[in-house]
A and B are shown apart, each in its own frame.
Chain A
Amino acid sequence: DAGVIQSPRHEVTEMGQEVTLRCKPISGHDYLFWYRQTMMRGLELLIYFNNNVPIDDSGMPEDRFSAKMPNASFSTLKIQPSEPRDSAVYFCASSLGQRYTFGSGTRLTVV
């Protein structure tokens, strides 16, 4: 089991650019979550999917953020346009029942 795989590990982009973060959940897991982690706000749940369907996106901060899950093995989180305050570590997690596993995260820096 390769775990939850996120890419890229690090992303540096200029303000105004589009950023796409990617996640491959553990095979067989039926929930997928996107989190943002900052020193100021801790771990924030942005959105989660159940069987590829978005269930709760109330944590998505603005319309600049969007997430998709076109199939059971892939999800994206897109920020367009990006802003410096979006700089954070973005984690993807997947779960099946109690088995909740985080990916290694993507450290996003917007300059």
Chain B
Amino acid sequence: GENVEQHPSTLSVQEGDSAVIKCTYSDSASNYFPWYKQELGKRPQLIIDIRSNVGEKKDQRIAVTLNKTAKHFSLHITETQPEDSAVYFCAASKPGGSYIPTFGRGTSLIVHP
């Protein structure tokens, strides 16, 4: 089955810096890669996603890149703010069915004011 590795497990940055979280996947058939943000004590929520037919997608301060050949994808957050502090999960899923995702272990991002 699919295996998703996520790094780093913790990331500490100063407000205004950029943050990058990286994930690799094992199944070349995976074609959908969502990212979830989980604030303390809350549910994971989708913040951005990318499909395998594009290499990059951007939404304001958040961007995701995908390298299908290397089977890795990354989340980039620019101009970080304290409210970006959360656990971020990457996931990968294959076509068909309901996009059942395999999640990474999560990255705890701490943005220091």
Chain A residues with CB under 8 Å of chain B are: 30-31, 33, 42-43, 45, 48, 50, 91, 95-98, 100, 102-105
Contacts and interface: CB of A to CB of B under 8 A. Distances in A.
Interface in B90-113: 97-101, 103-106
Contacts of A50: 97-98
A31 B89 contact: no
A72 B98 CA distance: 16
A89 B43 CA distance: 10
Given A31-B100, A98-B32, A98-B99, A43 B106 contact: yes
A48 B98 CA distance: 11
B37 to A, nearest CB: 11
A93 B49 CA distance: 17
Q: Is the interface on chain B under 10, 10 to 19, 20 to 34, or 35 or more residues? A: 10 to 19
Contacts of A43: 44, 89, 103, 106
29 contacts: A30-B98, A31-B100, A33-B100, A42-B103, A42-B104, A42-B105, A42-B106, A43-B89, A45-B100, A45-B103, A48-B100, A50-B97, A50-B98, A91-B43, A95-B98, A95-B99, A96-B98, A97-B98, A97-B99, A98-B32, A98-B49, A100-B34, A100-B46, A100-B98, A102-B43, A102-B44, A102-B45, A103-B43, A104-B42
A31 B42 contact: no
A31 B43 contact: no
Contacts of B98: 30-31, 50, 95-97, 100
Given A43-B89, A43-B106, A104 B99 contact: no
Contacts of A95: 98-99
Nearest to A43: B103
